[in-house]
Structure 1
Amino acid sequence: MPYNKNKQQAFEAAQQGATEAFDAYEAIVKDDADYGHQLKHLTQEVNEAYQQINNALETASETQRERLEQYQRDLQQIVEDVNQKQ
């Protein structure tokens, strides 16, 4: 039972981390004021999300794995988009 609980908690942490990174990305795209600070915040959120996703992948079910891999692809798209704008 603790294994399944930890597995679910890891997935939920990864899901929350990805959501926070996506929110930070939306904020940086919509508001150019204080871009440097926003970019630093976005970088931190993306890095944290990647860590949480990698942790969750260690114990993920097949369904969770598919979702986590989609989060990774979405985060990679954010990184590529930001890099193109610089």
Structure 2
Amino acid sequence: MPHHKNKQQAFQAAQQGYEQAEKANKQRIEAINRADYGKELGHLTQEVNEAYQQIDKALGVASEHQEKQLKQYQEKLNQIMSEIEE
């Protein structure tokens, strides 16, 4: 498989992981006053951890532009995790 295709697939996997983490965070926020909040929080944590792993893999092969975007994803995930810890 060409290197370019690997780069693109790694970036897309990281992007998708980030989007799933964002969706899980929205679900967590909606569940704040509900009984299933703990379940949503656990789901979010799992999605964020998976997204971090995918981003780390993608950073290993990313172009300069992709690297900038991946670091923004990391920063947003860091913000989500710090919100949870407050």
More moved, 70-79 vs 26-35:
26-35
Separation in 2, partners of 1:53, 1:22: 14
In structure 1, the gaps of 5 or more residues are none
Residue 6 of structure 2 is aligned to residue 6 of structure 1? yes
Instruction: Give every structure 1 segment of 4 or more consecutive aligned residues whose post-TM-superposition deviation is greater than 2 Å.
Output: none
Separation in 1, partners of 2:85, 2:25: 12
More moved, 65-74 vs 29-38:
29-38
How big is each residue's C-alpha offset from its partner over 1:38-64, in whole Å with a ceiling of 9 and x where there is no partner? 011000000000000000000000000
Letter in 2 for 1:72: Q
TM-score norm. by structure 2 comes to: 0.94
Separation in 1, partners of 2:85, 2:2: 41
Match in the other structure for 1:83? 85
- Corresponding pairs, count: 84
In structure 2, the gaps of 5 or more residues are none
Q: Give % identity.
A: 55
Match in the other structure for 1:22? 22
TM-score norm. by structure 1 comes to: 0.94
Letter in 2 for 1:55: K
Q: CA deviation at 1:31?
A: 2.0
